[in-house]
Structure 1
C-alpha cells in the first residue's frame, strides 16, 4: 500500500511531461532566434551547468528570474560560438516560458490538492537553492510536507540518495512510497533502485533513453499529470 509520495518538479508539474529543452526550443522558434537544434542543445546544456556551478540564482528568485539567468547564459554561449543573435529576445522568451509554466501549474493544482488530501508529499528536485520561492510564487508550496532540493542537500539526481532523503522525510519505508517524475534516468531508475514504486510521466524527453522492457514492467506510465491520482490506486 502506498503511504507517501515523492514528487519531481521541473518537467513534471510545470510542463506536464515536456522536457524544458522542448519548451525553450519552441520559444526560440517563436521569437526568431536563428540557431539550429544542435547549437541550441549545446547552449541548453551549458546553461544548465552554469546555473548549477555559478552562484547566480538567489534564494528569493522566482521562476521568471531563473529563466532570465539561464537564457542569458545560453545566449552568451551562442554568441561566443559565432552565432549572430539578438539578446533582446531573452526577455520575450523568459516571459513566454514563465507564462507557460504558470498556466500548466494552474492545471496541476487540482491534482496536487487531491493527492495531498490522501498522502503526505515530499518534493524532490534538482534545483538552484530557490525552489521554495518558486513553489510559493506558483501557489503550491503548501501541498508539500517537505522539500528536498539538490543545491541545499548537496546530492543531485540521478543519485538515489536524494530520493532516500525524501523517503526519510516521510518517515516511511521505500516500498511504501511512490516516485512520480518525467525522467526515466533521473526519477524512475533511482526510485526502483531504492525499492520505491514509480509512475513515469512519459511524454517528451530530450535525450532520455528510457529503461529496459523488464524494468518498465514494474512502472506505471502516464501521459498526463492529471491521471496521477487515479493510477496510484493500481498499487493497492
Structure 2
C-alpha cells in the first residue's frame, strides 16, 4: 500500500494501527503528495475528531478528562457509559439546534455520570469544562489552517452530528469559513453513506468529485465513502474508538497527514 505522507513533525504519541501509518513513523515528504492539491478546487472537512480533536476519537478526549479529574471508574465502564449516552442522545433528541458544544458536553457527561453512578455537580462541571476547553483549543488551532485555505478554496463540512453543528461553529468563531455545513442531524443521512458527501459536492457547486479533497479522521466513515465517489482523500489519523479492530486499507492515493497544517504545505 502506498501512503502519501507529508513533511516531518516532532514525534507524537499515536501508534501504528493496522495499515494506517502512525504520525511518529511517517517518512519524509513524498513529492506525489502535492498532486492531491494540484487539481483541487474545493475541500470538504469532517468535523468531530478532525477539526476539534487532532484526529482522536472523542471517547478518548473525554476519557482523558475523566482521568485528569480522578474519576473513580474503569475504562471499560466508561466505554459502556459513553455508548449509553450516545444512544440516549440520539433516542431522545435532547440536543437542540441552538446548543453550543458546551451544552452538548453538559448533556453527554451528565448522562455518562448518571449511568456510572458517580454523578456530582462538581465532577460534571469539571469534566465538561475540560472537554469544551479542549475542543475550543483544537478548533482555534485548526482555524489557522482553515483561514489560509479559505483564501484559495471553497470549504465545506460534512459531519455526523446532532443537528446543531452550525451553532457549534458559530460559538467557536469559524462558521464564516465554510460555504456549506452538511449535518447528518439535519439531513437524515449519516456516514458512511456516500450520499452525504454527494450533498457536500452539490453544496460546493463542483460537479467533478475528482476536484474535491475530503479530509477526515475515519477510514470507514470518511475516506472510503468519499473515495467511492471519486474524491481525493486525506486522513488525519489519531487514537480510534477501538485500536484492536483491523482498519480497512487506505486507497493508494490517500494522503496521510501529521497535522491539519500539512494541507497548507501541499
TM-score, scaled relative to structure 1: 0.91
| Alpha carbons 1:17, 1:225 under 8 Å: kept | no
1:56, CA displacement in angstroms? 0.7
Counterpart among 199, 205, 218 of residue 183 in structure 1: 218
State how far apart, in whole Å, the 1-side matches of 2:126 and 2:185 are: 28
Query: What corresponds to 1:205 in structure 2?
Result: 240
Counterpart among 42, 47, 62 of residue 80 in structure 2: 42
Aligned length in residues: 224
1:34, CA displacement in angstroms? 1.4
State how far apart, in whole Å, the 1-side matches of 2:192 and 2:80 are: 21
State how far apart, in whole Å, the 1-side matches of 2:113 and 2:199 are: 35
1:77, CA displacement in angstroms? 2.3
Instruction: Quote the RMSD (CA, aligned, Å).
Output: 1.3
State how far apart, in whole Å, the 2-side matches of 1:102 and 1:179 are: 22
Query: What corresponds to 1:82 in structure 2?
Result: none
Query: What aligned pairs does 1:19-98 form with structure 2 within 5 A after superposition?
Result: 19-79=57-117, 85-88=118-121, 89-98=123-132
Query: What aligned pairs does 1:148-187 form with structure 2 within 5 A after superposition?
Result: 148-172=182-206, 173-187=208-222
Structure 1 stretches of 4+ moved >4 Å = none
- Secondary structure class of the residue paired with 2:235: strand
Matched, 1:225 2:260: yes
Which one has a larger percent helix, Structure 1 or Structure 2? 1
| Alpha carbons 1:17, 1:223 under 8 Å: kept | no
Measured against aligned partners, the alpha-carbon deviations of 1:21-48 in whole angstroms (never above 9, x if no partner) come to 1110011111121111111111112212
- Secondary structure class of the residue paired with 1:118: coil
1:223, CA displacement in angstroms? 2.2
Matched, 1:195 2:233: no
1:147, CA displacement in angstroms? 0.6
Measured against aligned partners, the alpha-carbon deviations of 1:44-91 in whole angstroms (never above 9, x if no partner) come to 122122222212111111100000101112122223xxxxx1432111
Measured against aligned partners, the alpha-carbon deviations of 1:144-176 in whole angstroms (never above 9, x if no partner) come to 001100010010111111111101111212111
Unaligned runs of 5+ in 1: 80-84, 232-236
